[in-house]
Structure 1
Amino acid sequence: MILSALLTTVGINIGLCVLFFTLYSVLRKQPGNASVYAPRLVAEGKMLRSDFNLERLLPSASWVKKAWQTSEEELLSLSGLDGVVFMRIFEFSIKVFSFAMIFGIILLPINYVGNQLTMDYMDLPNKSLESFSISNVNDGSNRLWIHFSVAYIFTGFVCYLLYSEFKYISSKRIACFNSSEPKVHHFSVLVRGIPVSSGISFSESVENFFTLYYPSTYISHVIVRRTSKLQKLISDADDLSKRLLQMKSASYTQQRVGRASFLGRKVDLVDHYEKKLEDLVENVRMEQTLITGQEVPAAFVSFKSRFGAAIVLHVKQGINPTEWNTEAAPEPQDVYWPFFSASFTQRWILKYVAIAACIVLVVLFFGPVVLVQSLTHLDQLETWFPFLKGILRVTFVSQVITGYLPSLILQLFQHYVPPAMIMLSSIQGYIARSHIEKSACYKILFFTIWNVFFVNVLSGSVLYQANVFLELKNIPSVLAVAVPGQAEFFIAYVVTTGWTNTSSELFQMFSLIWSFIKRKILGRADDKLVVPSANYFSKIPKILLFGLFGITYLFLAPLILPFLLIHFCLGYIVYRNQLLTVYSPKYDSNGKFWPIVHNSTIFSLVLMHIIAIGIFGLKKMPLASGFMIPLPVMTLLFNNYCQRRFIPLFKSYPAECLIKKDRDDQSSGTMDAFYERLATAYRDPALAPIHTLGISDGRNAPLLQATEV
């Protein structure tokens, strides 16, 4: 890619960003768009209606000031520790790449004044971006020792920041726990693999076991039941109830007489749907009655203290390792009910099925990546499509195709990756949505790094030389040749995917269009407001991918650094605003996403070191190449220290904290009311009473007691 093509891409994306920011600053002030741009504030009753004034039609940046001035404590109270950790990823990245920019300012002229690549210095617009990379530095030049020093200094700085962040977030976890009110999931564990006993139910087995072995701490349990059919009936009844609500609303203008089915006779649709709803509700009640005996060998077991629950969680309960397995209980609203009936063997099989499916998805994505790489080489396109030769030689068209279009196509294909990974993670038997999302986050990160980084790098240079990877010693030299050659593509990718995606996150185009269709065309303005949650599992891998780009290309092609820094600054402001006004957390993992960030950053550093070993070897600097070898070793030792120092605090809370909190609660005298709530906290929502609009016949009492004590 030449410099003018990059400038074209930058210009297009700056224009899109300015457009999105301007439209957002105007549209967010319109009362009709409150459900799009401030659903959280609307749900909390903080959105005040204002009279019409000219200011509503003028763009302003007041939201930027509000997002900037919000303190971390305010953010913690609104979005939980997950929200704080998410924003600290941006803060961490800004610190890293602000420091890296210092080296970039030093390295860019050093790379540019080299003459390894034969180029015309006077023809700057048509100069290849490779002239700003390490490839342009002469072989054996003493200037390469500056690149060597940068690798060491930068690694030390990043490791220092990683340690500081890990320490800070670990202390925040403990502080949040110490200041929290009693939470039901701290007093409960999930028990799976309850053994079958002749003549007694699973519920009785649980009660007998924990009454016998934990008589002083055991309180109650909630047995899990098979409710998949019941959940489907309730979902159908809920959808039909919403449809009836819409038809009875004053804003509904369509005819109420029509065909209930494709070939059915014409009926009064309101009467028809009311009768159908009554039948569904009756079926729900019937199913709730029949479900009493459909127990699953799993139960939520509650205890009088956090420490008592922790002992049960960390001590093996039965002789048979597949029976009486204990897991940490998630928050009640975090529970994912569908896969409780899966056995130990089924979960084991499904785990590997999901891994195999993920690998297949990675392989299938290889096609779009090859297509994207072909667009970066006009000579290949002219060979494959000779009839496009005339169009491709138009300067602006060629610049758009090589600079903007490849990143856009790759971004469109990636849009379908997060839903696919969520589906694969959900079949693995996880019992909490937060567990599913964390697993999906790992899968998306692996998928993104492999397909966006490695496959793009390798398909551009050594696609047909796979045999070079048969020996580990070849990997540094292969990467040293392949990675610098793709710097221009990744710069365009950062600008196209990073800048524009961040500004479109603010603009919420699809939500805005759907809101308009609902209000103006479908007449569904009275629909219940749904406040979205921030999908950290899909956003964090994108941030970490850009971090990989920056760390890897720090001394290879430092021209990427300012574009990355702009992206992280944009993301910091935009996502703070979104967490304050749009997203509301449905549950909080208490910062458990940070170890993913730490591990990804360590991987990026080690990859940079491996590439450095290869590049110094190719540049005829064997001494520098040899001196680079201790750096990845020291980085991995540092990572091992951090894993042993901090990870235990992310897996469970220490006894010191648990016992102290238990004593404080007991002395407060408020635990009796909490124990009553604890006994029913994990009741399956499908077993709760049915409350449906228009169906109020006094039969709303629960049909099934979900708690056995």
Structure 2
Amino acid sequence: MNPHSLFASAAINIGLALVTLTLFSIFKKQPSFAPIFYARRLSNGQQIHFHDQTFSFRRFLPSVSWIPRAFRVTEDEILDSSGLDALVIIRLFKFGIKFFVVCSLVGLVVLLPVNYNGQDVPYQSYHSLDSFTISNITPGSNRLWVHFSCLWILSFYGLYLLYQEYDEILVKRIQQLQKIRHRPDLFTILVREIPICSEHKARGCSVDHFFSKHYPYSYHSYQMVYKEKDLEVLLSQAESIARKIEDLRERPTANKNKRETLLLDGSREDAVKISLHEDSLQVFCEKIRQLQHEIVIKQKELPVAFVIFKSRCGAALAAQSQQHSHPLLWITEMAPEPRDVSWRTLAIPYRILPLYKIGVVLAASLLTIFFAIPVTAVQGIAKYEKLKKWFPPVMAVELIPGLSSVMTGYLPSVILKGFIYIVPFAMFGMAKLPGCISKSKEEIKACNMVFYFLVGNVFFLSVLSGSLLDEIGESFSHPKNFPSHLASAVSAQADFFMTYILTDGLSGFSLEILLPGLLFWDVIKSHTVGRGTEKDPYLYSLPYFRIIPMVSLSVLIGTVYAVVTPLLLPFLIGYFCLGYLVFINQIQDVYAIVYETCGQYWPYIHHYILVAIVLMQITMIGLFGLKSMPAASISIIPLLLLTLMFNEYCKKRFLPTFHHYSIQNAVEHDELDAKSSQMEVNHEDVINAYCSPCLRPVNFLTSESSSTQPLVCSSSL
């Protein structure tokens, strides 16, 4: 890629971003679009006040007021309103800003002049941007020791930031656990593989006998999980009928363009339909209530139960202990919070979960293999000179001035971004299969799958696709040469990743905040089925599985290229600044927070960034080898070992506290309740919170139900 292609990509992306952000600033002022751009605030019952409720020219003027508003939002405000998980995403963007600002200073002030003056004779290469990279340094030159020193500096700075972030987020996690200490999950454990009681032939009494005997002072009660497959079908059918009734009631009963007789006929027809649907719904409700009682009476219990304890300490001790000499019986762990429970997956037998996991690994592997086709095709477009040799008719592109620059600079990154957009959703669907007990664990598993997919396909496959089969074959036959092959391929792909960062940042984040898909659907709905009805907010949960891996990949790309191609680093600062602004807005106004894990996403983010630092060091080992500097290559090995030792230290110092509710914190929170004048936790509310939604009272015929208690609960006091 030449500079013209890079400039073409930058110009197109900047232009699209400006247009998109301008449209966003205008649409955000329109009251009709409030269900899209203020979905979270409306769902929380907040009133959105627009300065101009009536039509005025001012409402159609672009503004940047959302930008200073985003900068004014503090971390404490995000923590209070959205929780620590949402704050972790913002801290990821802030980490990127802090890390790449220093990298840019080192790269532009120190490395860039060294690279540009690396040869007495100007370096001639198809990659004309190579004069600004380490490729321009003469092999064996002492100038390479500058790169060596910068590698050590940036590595230690990255590790320092990682340690600081881990420590600060751990402190916030402990504080957040204290703040939410009355939440039901802190008193509850999930028990799986419960044996049937030999005396009563039921699992419920088995739970009561077991925990009454082994935890006589802290055990309180239990809540069984039941087989509810048939009940779920009836509930979905009843909900469908209830929605039809609601739509008919909300249908406008007046239309100025129709005659009065037609109005009366239409109203009568709707009334008849509503009456018929209500009768049908009443029948479904009776069937549902009857089936709910049958499920409990016939004891259609699953070998799964939620066990509630009188204290947090009792629950924490039970969750972290082996309950039985047979390790596959009475398997315990802390229960997820009630809104985070994945009820569907609790029905999957624990012993067959490994089969589900193998199936998911195979499916993800097949998707990765098939994705190699579009990635290789994209790199074929980016390598225009090689493409002309393979397919001569493509030279016709040169007949149109500037088209070749657009094709090689902008088109490949857009095509690649389009292909990988569907990947997180596909991986999230796969992550639901292995039987995770909570939605948060499903998203965390999806984060891992998406990240490694992107590293394997977008990064490694892109850098190796210039001579894909040769490079892979050489790497397998001579694994010791992998660093040098990786280094040469990474150096050649710097220009492509510049355009990828531009496209993912400018176009990707601007489309994220505009939400064009919802806008398009809202316009269609407003002019068809939803005409004249009040709009409900378009509320969706914060997509951690999509945001975290994508941003982590950009961290990886920037880290690997920090010493190789310093010219890439300023683009990354813009990327993280824009992402910070966009997701402050989305978290505050758009996305719903459907659960809170108190920062359990951060250990995975820490791991992703550490992988990036390790890859940077391995790449530099190979590059110094290619540049005839074996002493520098060997000297990086201690740095690599220090990085791996740092990772092991963090695993022992921080990770256990993220995976467990420590006994110390549990006891402190119990003592805090004992000393304070606050009311004790109502354990009956805890039991009811873990009653399956399918067993709760159903009343679709009224908008509000006076009954909030579950239909049944299995408990023993």
TM range (shorter): over 0.9
Residue by residue over 1:18-40, the C-alpha shift from the partner in whole angstroms, topping out at 9 and shown as x without a partner, is 01111111110111111111112
CA distance in 1, matches of 2:103, 2:600: 27
1:441-456 equivalences under 5 Å are: 441-456=447-462
Aligned to 2:687: 679
Rate the CA distance shift 1:707–1:527 in 2: closer, same or farther, 3 A.
farther
- Matched residue SS, 2:25: helix
How far did residue 669 of structure 1 move?
5.5
Q: 2:75 aligns with which of 62, 72, 75?
A: 72
Q: 1:100 aligns with which of 98, 103, 106?
A: 103
CA distance in 1, matches of 2:649, 2:393: 60
Aligned to 1:192: 192
Contact 1:234 1:284 in 2 (8 A): yes
Aligned to 1:401: 407
Q: 1:335 aligns with which of 316, 332, 341?
A: 341
Q: 2:482 aligns with which of 475, 485, 506?
A: 475
How far did residue 267 of structure 1 move?
13
Amino acid at match of 2:441: H
TM-score by length of 1: 0.93
Amino acid at match of 1:317: Q
CA distance in 1, matches of 2:706, 2:360: 46
Aligned to 1:559: 567
- Matched residue SS, 1:464: helix
Contact 2:379 2:465 in 1 (8 A): yes
Answering whether residue 369 of structure 2 is matched by residue 369 of structure 1, we say no
Amino acid at match of 1:601: I
Aligned to 2:554: 546
Aligned to 1:228: 229
CA distance in 1, matches of 2:93, 2:119: 37
Rate the CA distance shift 1:393–1:622 in 2: closer, same or farther, 3 A.
farther
Residue range with higher mean Cα deviation, 648-657 or 542-551: 648-657
CA distance in 2, matches of 1:256, 1:238: 28
Aligned to 2:318: 312
Aligned to 2:654: 646
CA distance in 1, matches of 2:40, 2:213: 48
Residue by residue over 1:420-479, the C-alpha shift from the partner in whole angstroms, topping out at 9 and shown as x without a partner, is 211221111111000110111111111011110001111123432433223431111111
Q: What is the RMSD of the two structures over their aligned residues, measured on CA atoms?
A: 2.6
Percent sequence identity over aligned pairs: 37
- Matched residue SS, 1:298: strand
Q: 2:500 aligns with which of 485, 493, 517?
A: 493
Amino acid at match of 1:390: A
Q: What stretches of structure 1 of length at least 5 have no aligned partner?
A: 259-265
Q: 2:527 aligns with which of 515, 520, 528?
A: 520
Rate the CA distance shift 1:87–1:696 in 2: closer, same or farther, 3 A.
closer
- Matched residue SS, 1:460: helix
CA distance in 1, matches of 2:412, 2:170: 40
- Matched residue SS, 1:704: coil
CA distance in 2, matches of 1:582, 1:17: 20
CA distance in 1, matches of 2:703, 2:146: 77
Answering whether residue 236 of structure 2 is matched by residue 206 of structure 1, we say no
How far did residue 611 of structure 1 move?
1.1
Residue range with higher mean Cα deviation, 620-629 or 156-165: 620-629
Aligned to 2:663: 655
Residue by residue over 1:254-312, the C-alpha shift from the partner in whole angstroms, topping out at 9 and shown as x without a partner, is 99999xxxxxxx99654554444334333322322322221100000000101000111
- Matched residue SS, 1:219: strand
1:51-62 equivalences under 5 Å are: 51-52=53-54, 53-62=56-65
Aligned to 1:287: 291
Aligned to 1:354: 360
Residue by residue over 1:145-191, the C-alpha shift from the partner in whole angstroms, topping out at 9 and shown as x without a partner, is 11111101111111111111111111111111223341110000000
CA distance in 1, matches of 2:143, 2:510: 39
1:18-417 equivalences under 5 Å are: 18-44=18-44, 45-50=46-51, 51-52=53-54, 53-105=56-108, 106-115=110-119, 128-198=128-198, 199-251=200-252, 269-292=273-296, 293-382=299-388, 385-417=391-423
How far did residue 114 of structure 1 move?
3.2
Residue by residue over 1:318-375, the C-alpha shift from the partner in whole angstroms, topping out at 9 and shown as x without a partner, is 1211110001100000000112122222112212221122111111111111111111
Contact 2:339 2:595 in 1 (8 A): yes
How far did residue 387 of structure 1 move?
4.3
Aligned to 1:262: none
Residue range with higher mean Cα deviation, 360-369 or 689-698: 689-698
Contact 1:119 1:127 in 2 (8 A): no
- Matched residue SS, 1:521: coil
Rate the CA distance shift 1:127–1:432 in 2: closer, same or farther, 3 A.
closer
How far did residue 9 of structure 1 move?
0.4
Question: How many residue pairs are counted as aligned between the two chains?
Answer: 698
Contact 1:100 1:561 in 2 (8 A): yes
TM-score by length of 2: 0.92
Rate the CA distance shift 1:700–1:590 in 2: closer, same or farther, 3 A.
closer
How far did residue 235 of structure 1 move?
2.1
Contact 2:189 2:308 in 1 (8 A): yes
CA distance in 1, matches of 2:98, 2:75: 17
CA distance in 2, matches of 1:21, 1:306: 48
CA distance in 1, matches of 2:327, 2:306: 19
Aligned to 1:10: 10
- Matched residue SS, 1:338: helix
CA distance in 1, matches of 2:314, 2:360: 35
Residue by residue over 1:642-670, the C-alpha shift from the partner in whole angstroms, topping out at 9 and shown as x without a partner, is 11111121112332221111012133465
CA distance in 2, matches of 1:522, 1:367: 41
Residue range with higher mean Cα deviation, 691-700 or 551-560: 691-700
CA distance in 1, matches of 2:227, 2:695: 11
CA distance in 1, matches of 2:637, 2:169: 31
Rate the CA distance shift 1:429–1:399 in 2: closer, same or farther, 3 A.
same
Contact 1:247 1:256 in 2 (8 A): no
Rate the CA distance shift 1:382–1:304 in 2: closer, same or farther, 3 A.
same
- Matched residue SS, 1:86: helix
CA distance in 1, matches of 2:121, 2:486: 19
Aligned to 1:432: 438
CA distance in 2, matches of 1:527, 1:232: 28
Contact 2:691 2:710 in 1 (8 A): no
CA distance in 2, matches of 1:544, 1:562: 17
Residue range with higher mean Cα deviation, 6-15 or 230-239: 230-239
Rate the CA distance shift 1:310–1:702 in 2: closer, same or farther, 3 A.
closer
Rate the CA distance shift 1:212–1:256 in 2: closer, same or farther, 3 A.
farther
CA distance in 2, matches of 1:219, 1:31: 51
Aligned to 2:545: 537
Q: 2:513 aligns with which of 496, 502, 506?
A: 506
CA distance in 1, matches of 2:364, 2:599: 26
CA distance in 1, matches of 2:644, 2:383: 38
Rate the CA distance shift 1:584–1:117 in 2: closer, same or farther, 3 A.
farther
- Matched residue SS, 2:446: helix
Answering whether residue 484 of structure 2 is matched by residue 464 of structure 1, we say no
How far did residue 93 of structure 1 move?
0.7
CA distance in 2, matches of 1:66, 1:515: 26
CA distance in 2, matches of 1:88, 1:633: 27
